[in-house]
Amino acid sequence: ARPAAPARPSMPLAPMQRPNPDDEVSDDVARLSMSTLSFQDYVRERMLKRRQAAMNRQEPGFAESRQDFADSRQDLEPDLPSALEQRLAARSAQQQPPKAAPQLAVVQPAVAPRAAVREPPVLREEVRVAQAQAAMAQPIQMPAPVMQAPVQVPSLADSSSAVNQAVARRDQQDMMNELRSMKGLIEDRFGALAFMEKMQRHPAQAHLIQKLLDCGFSPALTRKLVESLPTDVGDETAWAANVLERNLLTGEAEAALEDQGGVFALIGSTGVGKTTSAAKIAAAFAAKHGANHLGLITLDAYRVGAHEQLRAYGRILGVPVHTAHDRASLEDLLELLASKKMVLIDTAGMAQRDTRTRELLEMLGHRSIQKLLVINAAAQGETIEDVMISYHAAACKGIVLSKMDEAVKLAPALDALIRHKLKVVGVANGQRVPEDWHRLSAHALVHRALRANVNPAYRVAADDVNLIFTARQQAQRARPPLHA
């Protein structure tokens, strides 16, 4: 058996010293007296470090940040510098009063602010960090891409289908045109048959048709007259003459050209008698008002000796004749002759389809010039129609009918005047100056047209009327109605 160890001498235990209340109060005062600025600096440093760590991780949680901040708050007291604690303790010991009881009574209420110190301060840096973390935690919403329809490349089958459809549409259109043509032919045929049946039931209408066609009136005007013929009329020819007179415009109710005065330019196709008509008007004016108030201008520089013809008439009348080669010289002459009561302008004769016709009309575009269209009364109706369209007869002051003595049929000219609603201001029926210048009334012109002597070879027989009125009448139906 192992011998027992010798007993160690027992040392007297020192009596346990109770903590001095004054020391605890000093510690509390030291902790409460810590500089607020130092605490904020420490918290800011810790927050900046944790913010940097959160930015490195890119997906920090706000709850983790709050927990870290709480941990840092709990670790704050052990990490305080000891030197600062000793200095604050010494300062508080010097300021303590000699009696402890009053010290305890005063210091005890200061325990409550101790807990307030441990509350985390609300810093702007913390708020900004929380906002940044919340913004980074939200998913980034990208705009939805615009889906474009894929480009469809037509295949060979689609191309062939489109071609077939185009061919089918063209065939359908051709068929519709043929049907319309057949419909028009059928309507014209039945219309002609109905018209001829009506003529057979009314002999007066058949007689009027033959009379008007023999005189040279167009089938369109003839048909309108016959369709408007009353059933109880006694003399169909007199009735038709009365209707034609009311629709033919003349200047018999107005003053004559030589009495009106102004600037007049005579235009028309070649060989219609413009120069002779100008000489007749000039002679009639000089006889009434004197040659001193008359001015003559010629634009006919194309034809050799053309201006000499008017100069010859001017020498007879004692009036000088001026020549204008362009619009500028014409305007200068008009200013020179502005004091004259009447100025007559003789123009060069050009075919209605000549390209220079437009240039001539533009040259006569002065605001003071009034145009008179000279029409050959002996021309065919189609020719007169073409001349009126080419020379813009609707913009002219009136029409001068020349070569009345040469016209076998006056009806074609009157027919065109009635359809275009143009006014006849004068008539020339010969070469004498000024004896063959007249102003005829509508009554005289119409009766002259109805008294035409028709050659038997050009007379329309009763059986030939069917051939004339079986043609299509769409364009003729579009004519303006006559004032019966």
Is residue 87 over pLDDT 80? no
Q: Which residue has the higher pLDDT, 424 or 1?
A: 424
**Residue 343: its pLDDT value, please?**
94
Going by C-alpha positions, the residue among 413, 388, 442 that lies closest to residue 250 is: 442
Q: Can you tell me the distance from the alpha carbon of 271 to that of 11, in angstroms, rounded to the nearest whole number?
A: 168
Q: Compute the CA torsion angle 279, 285, 291, 296 (nearest 10 deg).
A: -40
**Token couple for 178:** 């043929």
For domain 253-440, give its CATH number from 3.40.50.970, 3.40.50.300, 2.70.70.10, 3.90.800.10. Answer: 3.40.50.300
Q: What is the mean pLDDT of the chain?
A: 75
Q: Which residue has the higher pLDDT, 21 or 464?
A: 464
- Residue 396 DSSP class: S
**Residue 184: pLDDT band by 50, 70, 90 thresholds?**
confident
Give whole-number Cα distances, 175 to 1, 163, 178, 179, 472, in Å: 143, 18, 5, 6, 20
Q: Can you tell me the distance from the alpha carbon of 149 to that of 153, in angstroms, rounded to the nearest whole number?
A: 12
Mind listing the pLDDT tens digit for each residue in 329-361?
999 999 999 999 999 999 988 887 878 888 888
Domain boundaries, the chain: 21-134, 176-248+458-475, 253-440
Q: Which amino acid is at 470?
A: T
Beta-ladder partners of 399: 373, 424
Judging by beta carbons within 10 Å of its beta carbon (0-12, 13-18, 19+), is residue 22 exposed, middle or buried? middle
**Residue 270: its pLDDT value, please?**
87
Whether the full predicted model's pTM is greater than 0.95, yes or no, is no
Q: What share of the chain is helix, strand, coil (3-state, %, to 5)?
A: 55, 10, 35
pLDDT, mean of residues 31-44: 64
**Residue 449: its pLDDT value, please?**
92
Mind listing the pLDDT tens digit for each residue in 429-441?
888 888 889 988 9
Judging by beta carbons within 10 Å of its beta carbon (0-12, 13-18, 19+), is residue 334 exposed, middle or buried? buried
CB atoms within 10 A of CB 169: 10
Give whole-number Cα distances, 480 to 163, 421, 423, 474, in Å: 46, 10, 17, 13
Q: Which residue has the higher pLDDT, 339 or 158?
A: 339
